[in-house]
Structure 1
């Protein structure tokens, strides 16, 4: 097998919209991704929903709205199978998404001052991250866990400089 993803026009559009946000136009990226969400709907392809919601969470102006998208991403991941993920890229496994999704939820609950839920999601993220490989992605998620843990311990509700949501 090669390392190239199987062509998926929706995933291509998602990636293009995310790149718009990364190059400095988060408002336009949010518009593009929201339009895609409206097209696929809340019961559409689980890979698309998970990916869209994950990135849309990062683009929100308030933690309350970010929480909605983070919860949608995790819910979509529960509907996602390895088989479907591997249709996009043969190396993807759902369990690889979960530490980052729980990390995002821990961070947003921390910013919303819901420390009990933040700690619960952080514990889950830490446990799931034990299964991540020692590579750039795994290291980024583990660093995000430490960063959110430190902010939680300090009682900080500020947005972190290195958003853990960019980990996955």
Structure 2
């Protein structure tokens, strides 16, 4: 998922989620987790899929336990599956749902790798590779592609043709 903020519409919940993301990036994982949980309780399990996807995606990164990280990444993927391009365009005109999937599946592959579940990790790595064409040729896309290549090396599953 991207963190682009230019051309974004005014969405108070996304702004609040963004503030917690900055807190987490500033190093306060515990406070970030607490605030993410408070926002999650406001959004609810069936709230706006964009809010749920974004919050869960970043909440996963704030977890210390790999099982908890996996649970949040699965929530992010589930919410992305409910997200429409129309809803996403209402937030930010340059984003497309299909571009979320490489990052979401890469995170799940990493979670499963941490848990020693290598077949599940490889399965999600294959999903990354199947969706990676949705990414732009920019630093974000390059980073996801490079991370997928490193994951493939660790899992003994290089890109086809290598």
TM, length-normalised to structure 2: 0.91
3-state DSSP of counterpart to 2:156: helix
Equivalent residues in 2 for 1:91-110, closer than 5 Å: 91-110=94-113
Deviations 1:115-161 (A, max 9, x none): 1110000011012112311111111110111122222239xxxxxxx
Name structure 2 gaps, 5 residues minimum.
1-5, 158-162
Structure 1 Cα separation of the partners of residues 136 and 9 of structure 2:
23
TM, length-normalised to structure 1: 0.87
Q: CA deviation at 1:52?
A: 0.4
Match of 1:16 in 2: 19
Structure 2 Cα separation of the partners of residues 101 and 138 of structure 1:
13
Please tell me the root mean square deviation across aligned C-alpha atoms, in Å. Answer: 1.2
Q: Are 1:73 and 2:76 matched, yes or no?
A: yes
Which 4+ stretches in 1 moved above 3 angstroms? none
Q: CA deviation at 1:99?
A: 0.4
Match of 1:55 in 2: 58
Name structure 1 gaps, 5 residues minimum.
155-168
Q: Are 1:124 and 2:127 matched, yes or no?
A: yes
